[in-house]
């Protein structure tokens, strides 16, 4: 956190403007924002990365999941200033420059892992978080790793199948 951000926290004043610099999907950006801006609002409103969704705003649903320095986090649960200096990956950062889908995105498509699609970006970011712990996760590990992600269409069965298939495709590509 910047010195200015720390000062504002200590003073209890979170509405001061602050400059933050983050690397988002490989591109460095510097923006001046209000101290009380949530990371999810910074991504969606300032950077127009609207693939990160807001389902609850209270850290319940996981729709806002992004990777912060390689680990999945709920971006409605931290202030943007707390991410100052960090590397962030959103769902938009997974596809190639040519627009080809990430293997996990393909697996969700191929296994009908989405219905309305609202939860899907968060599910995929959490799925990749599961793979960072286990290259070939068991069904139990997948279900446990998705504990913080809710699907209001209740498509969990196919989501688990999609993650299993995506994990296999990624592992095969790495062999
Ligand atoms: S919007 Fe962040 S957990 Fe629901
Ligand atoms: S596919 Fe609709 S919320 Fe999950």
The full DSSP string for 46-68 is IS--TTS--S-SSSSS-TTEEEE
pLDDT at position 97 = 87
- Structure confidence by residue, pLDDT tens digits, 97-118: 899 999 999 999 999 999 999 9
Q: Residue 14: is its pLDDT beyond 70?
A: no
DSSP class of residue 156? Answer: H
Please state, as a whole number, how many other Cβ atoms lie within 10 Å of the Cβ of residue 96.
Answer: 8
Tokens of 36: 């009380």
DSSP class of residue 29? Answer: E
Nearest ligand 1 atom, CA 75: 2
Ligand nearest to the CA of 118: 2
- How far is residue 85's CA from residue 97's CA, in Å, rounded to a whole number? 24
What number of CA atoms fall less than 13 Å from residue 127's CA on the CB side?
Answer: 31
CATH H-level, domain 3-93: superfamily = Beta-grasp domain (3.10.20.30)
Strand partners, 89: 67
More confident residue, 16 or 62: 62
Share of the chain above pLDDT 70, in %: 92
Q: Residue 1: is its pLDDT beyond 70?
A: no
Lowest-confidence segment of 8-22, 52-66, 77-91, 160-174 by average pLDDT = 8-22
Delimiting residues of CATH 3.10.20.30 domain(s) in the chain: 3-93
pLDDT at position 16 = 84
Q: Looking at ligand 1, which residue's alpha carbon is closest to its atom 3?
A: 59
- How far is residue 98's CA from residue 104's CA, in Å, rounded to a whole number? 17
pLDDT at position 174 = 87
- How far is residue 95's CA from residue 105's CA, in Å, rounded to a whole number? 8
Domain range 103-170, CATH architecture: Orthogonal Bundle (1.10)
- The values of phi and psi at residue 149, to 5°, are -120, 125
Ligand 2 neighbour 158 (Cβ under 6 A)? no
Delimiting residues of CATH 1.10.150.120 domain(s) in the chain: 103-170
Mutation pick for ligand 2 pocket among 122, 149, 151 (CB with most ligand atoms within 8 Å)? 151
- The values of phi and psi at residue 172, to 5°, are -65, -40
Share of the chain above pLDDT 90, in %: 88
């Amino acid at each position: 956190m910047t010195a200015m951000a720390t000062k504002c926290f200590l003073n209890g004043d979170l509405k001061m403007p602050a400059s933050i610099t983050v690397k988002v999907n490989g591109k460095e950006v510097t923006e001046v924002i209000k101290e009380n801006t949530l990371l999810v609002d910074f991504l969606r409103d300032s950077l127009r990365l609207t693939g990160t969704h807001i389902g609850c705003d209270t850290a319940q649903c996981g729709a806002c999941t992004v990777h912060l320095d390689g680990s999945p986090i709920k971006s409605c649960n931290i202030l943007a200033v707390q991410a100052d200096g960090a590397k962030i990956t959103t769902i938009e950062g997974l596809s190639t420059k040519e627009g080809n889908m990430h293997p996990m995105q393909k697996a969700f498509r191929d296994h009908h892992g989405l219905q309305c699609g609202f939860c899907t970006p968060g599910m995929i970011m959490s799925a990749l978080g599961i793979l960072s712990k286990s290259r070939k996760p068991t069904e139990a590990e997948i279900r446990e790793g998705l504990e913080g992600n809710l699907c209001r269409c209740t498509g969990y069965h196919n989501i688990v199948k999609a993650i299993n298939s995506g994990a296999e495709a990624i592992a095969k590509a790495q062999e």
